[in-house]
Amino acid sequence: MTSPVITPLGYAAGASVAGADLRRPLEEDAMKTITSAWHKHLMLVFPDQRLSPKELIDFTSQFGQVERNDNVPYYRHPEHPEVLLISNKTTNGKPSQTRNTGRNWHADLTYTDRPAKGSVLMCQEKPEVGGDTMFANLYMAYETLSPTIRKFIDTLEAVHDITLIKGFSRRDPEQIKEMTRLNPPIAHPVVPVHPETGKKLLFISERIRNFVGMTEEESKPLLDFLNGHATSPEFVYRHRWSVNDVIMWDNRATLHIALPDFDQSQSRHMLRCSLLGEHSGYVIDNETSEISMKSALAAIS
Ligand code: SIN
């Protein structure tokens, strides 16, 4: 079998992979080529793949353990808990709870103690135009910061909070309650070292409430700056979908956002599998997460 051909799509991220049939197990050489392209380009597009949910799981499982989505148990495929349905289609007469999924810059599952290592997303239906997904390169984000700010953030931890998913409060109240219970605020390092590439990156997100040991007021200007910096246009690749595209991103080194830039009366229907990541977080309570204004005032009086 010939080796897959990798063609870069963007400077910051993105490459397309030709010559791979994802319905079959990858041969050793193809696996090596794809894995190294995944680490280099951070986001890969495999055009024109027609995978069943089971085939999507099988493809994903070649790169690690596939998530069962137990932290967000409401949006799973009825027969395959590993497959999350991201769709604006009506089911049982009700609008889908995932119709606005991914509307702020984030990495998947950072509100758990094991953020996804990677995610694989397949497009089954798309609007005539739009419904794009953008990806930001978090190595570039870190490397372009000044030495002084890098030194300041190198040892920081950030509190990731599921309730900061955009539009979360408009979801089903019972589901909100349960998902908040399943996913208490969790702290992750702001500058982790990528386990495969050994490079530092800026692990920021719009789903962070504050930095550990800092108040929300203190954290906000820095958070706003870092989020704005990480998603600067020069660090971003924008994917315009075709039906049957399968894409795979390195969730440890990118942020992504799903844009609502389309006619909402048209269907957008995606299937997502994620790879279980390494333990990198710990549950945090409000006491330790934030220095309260009261104790800050007491410290200076
Ligand atoms: C996601 O945030 O994982 C979904 C992205 C998309 O639907 O484009």
Q: What is the CATH number of the domain that holds 228?
A: 3.60.130.10
Strands 246-250 and 208-211: unpaired
Q: Say if CB 71 and CB 146 are below 8 A apart.
A: no
Nearest to 63 by CA among 23, 8, 9, 120: 120
Ligand 1 centre distance from Cα of residue 79 (Å): 21
44 ligand 1 Cβ < 6 A: no
Mean pLDDT per block of 10 residues along the chain (301 residues) reads 90 98 97 98 98 98 97 93 96 88 97 97 98 98 98 98 96 95 97 97 98 97 98 98 98 98 97 95 72 46 49
- Number of domains composing the chain: 1
Strands 15-18 and 43-46: parallel
Catalytic residues: 106, 108, 256, 272
Which residue's CA is the nearest one to ligand 1's atom 1? 102
101 ligand 1 Cβ < 6 A: yes
102 ligand 1 Cβ < 6 A: yes
Q: Say if CB 278 and CB 195 are below 8 A apart.
A: yes
Predicted confidence at residue 285, as pLDDT, reads 76
Range of 223's domain? 5-300
Atom of ligand 1 nearest to the CA of 106: 2
pTM, 2 dp? 0.94
Ligand 1 centre distance from Cα of residue 61 (Å): 19
How far apart, in whole angstroms, are the C-alpha atoms of residue 18 and residue 4?
Answer: 6
Predicted confidence at residue 72, as pLDDT, reads 92
Ligand 1 centre distance from Cα of residue 227 (Å): 18
116 ligand 1 Cβ < 6 A: no
Coil vs helix vs strand at 42: coil
**Mutation probe of ligand 1 site: the residue of 106, 237, 256, 274 with most atoms within 8 A of C-beta:** 256
Predicted confidence at residue 33, as pLDDT, reads 98
109: left (phi over 0), alpha (psi -120 to 50) or beta: left
108 ligand 1 Cβ < 6 A: yes
Predicted confidence at residue 288, as pLDDT, reads 59
Predicted confidence at residue 93, as pLDDT, reads 87
Predicted confidence at residue 294, as pLDDT, reads 44
Ligand 1 centre distance from Cα of residue 210 (Å): 24
Atom of ligand 1 nearest to the CA of 268: 7
Ligand 1 centre distance from Cα of residue 167 (Å): 14
How far apart, in whole angstroms, are the C-alpha atoms of residue 269 and residue 20?
Answer: 23
